[in-house]
Amino acid sequence: MNILGVIQIADWFLVVVCIGVAFYIWSTWTFNKFKDQGIPGPKPYPIVGTGLSFLIQGFIDSEKNRMRKYGNFYGTFMGRTPQWVIARDELLTEVLVKQFPCFGNRRAFSDGSELVESFLTVLVDEDWKRVRNLLTPTFSSGKLKMMMHQMNKCGAQLAENIGQLTSKPDPAFDTKEVSGCYTMDVIGGTAFGVDVNSLKDPESIFVKHAKKIFSFSLFSPFFLVAFFAPFLLKPLKKMGFQMFPKDSMNFFQEVTEEAIAQRKANTNKGGNTDLIQLMVNAHNIDITDEQKAEATEYGATYEKDTKEKGLKNVEILANGMLFFLAGYDTTATMMSLLLYQLAIEQEVQEKLYNEIQDVIGDKEKVDYNDIMKLQYLDMCINETLRMYPAAPIIDRICSRDVTINGIEFKKGDVVVIPVLGIHFDEKRWPNPEVFNPERFAPEEKKNHGPFDWMPFGYGPRNCVGMRLALLEAKVATVHVLRKHRLVTCEKTKTPLKFDKIGFRVKAGIWISAEPREN
């Protein structure tokens, strides 16, 4: 009998047990943080924290149910990381506005590469302030007016495409597919000056790579690591693992680099009005008083101790890519769900169509000022974003110890704002599961506070491209409804069944359309 072998096995078993016990203690060490303070919340488990409900119920249902169960102040865990979840207005005011210097940074899921670290959504502190201040004026009303030609062109093509799709034996079309092609064409033209033409060619290489980047699964290894153990992202990057498909990221990087090179070669700054040109113009320049005034008008802030300098090369590249990717998926999702709701709610659709006819009439091209007059269109989009917010949750990192209303937030604490839960809070929005644009009628504003609706975030760190996204959706909707009456069909599902990661429907969002007899 080999006694030595038995001893060796026993030693290894003991080592494994010790490692397992140590890991269990480490992974659960923080789990009493909220319990000891009498703060409610779901039960955490090793490794997954309180994320088990996401894996079982899906993100959407879990977020809605948590606030109903635990109220407007509770605690959760991402892995072993504690998260304060706040939905009380007095706390939201402090965290998002008054105490912004303490809560100015987001939790960043970064692989540590210089490119990803330069995304506006990842930048922190003074670098974020500088880049945000320079980018904010590119979304002013004056700049958006310059983009109307491209949006009108793409909107007309979208309406034509829907007509072609619905004239086939199977008249159904996927709103996410056509919306994605539209937003890709718009962002390609307005940000890069590139004629993507995906509406005419749905198999465009641009769409192919964009879909590939956004096709991640809740159970993909990198997503699980980012969700439950984000500290492992950088080591994995060094080992050769990628957050996103390498070929697709390389494609958009090359497109962006080429656009930047063309703008730099063209010394006539007025030759292009796209976002890349505006960023190149902000490269290695001092910030002017005019830029400061325009940025401040749209929510940016300048502090005396901020180092005022232009954009770095890598920041132009990174944020050019970010605009391309975020502008494609977020706006396409919003549009696809708006078209879906209009197909279901025929009375809402007809009321909106009548408003469009009253304001715009027979004009071939939609004017920016006319778009701004479409009050009911605003109401429809706002209600869509209430039910399907672009940012279902917002998070902030506490940068220094601070006490707010008797609650002690420590440096490094994560604060989460459950936007989706707030949007479905019956105290704020009665019958929240019902699509009702009248919630946003002018006379209803007095019944709602500033934090009842925040699909793009709130405060200085809200979505910088919000106004562009809204304008894109409005122009597209006007062009589509002037030509077509949206209707349901056999493929239309009610209610929609979202996958577990967010507002994605693997089976597609299917409706049909009938030509309007103008």
**What is the DSSP pairing of strand 394-397 with strand 414-417?**
antiparallel
The Cα 391–Cα 433 span in angstroms is: 18
The Cα 293–Cα 297 span in angstroms is: 6
Helices (H) and strands (E) in the chain, counts: 21, 9
The reply to whether 181 sits in an annotated binding site is no
Residue with tokens 């030609």: 149
**43 close to 31: Cβ distance less than 8 angstroms:** no
**Residue (of 341, 457, 476, 464) closest to 389 by Cα position:** 457
Query: Which of the 8 DSSP states describes residue 164?
Result: H
53 conformational bin, left if phi > 0, alpha if psi -120 to 50, beta if neither = alpha
**What is the DSSP pairing of strand 407-409 with strand 402-404?**
antiparallel
* Residue 333: partners with Cβ closer than 8 Å, 6 or more residues away: 176, 179, 388, 390, 503, 504
Segments in 307-400 forming alpha helices (H): 313-344, 346-360, 368-373, 375-387
Q: What is the DSSP string of 276-304?
A: HHHHHHTBT-PPPHHHHHHHHHTT----T
- Specify binding-site residues: 463
Residue list for the binding site for heme:
463
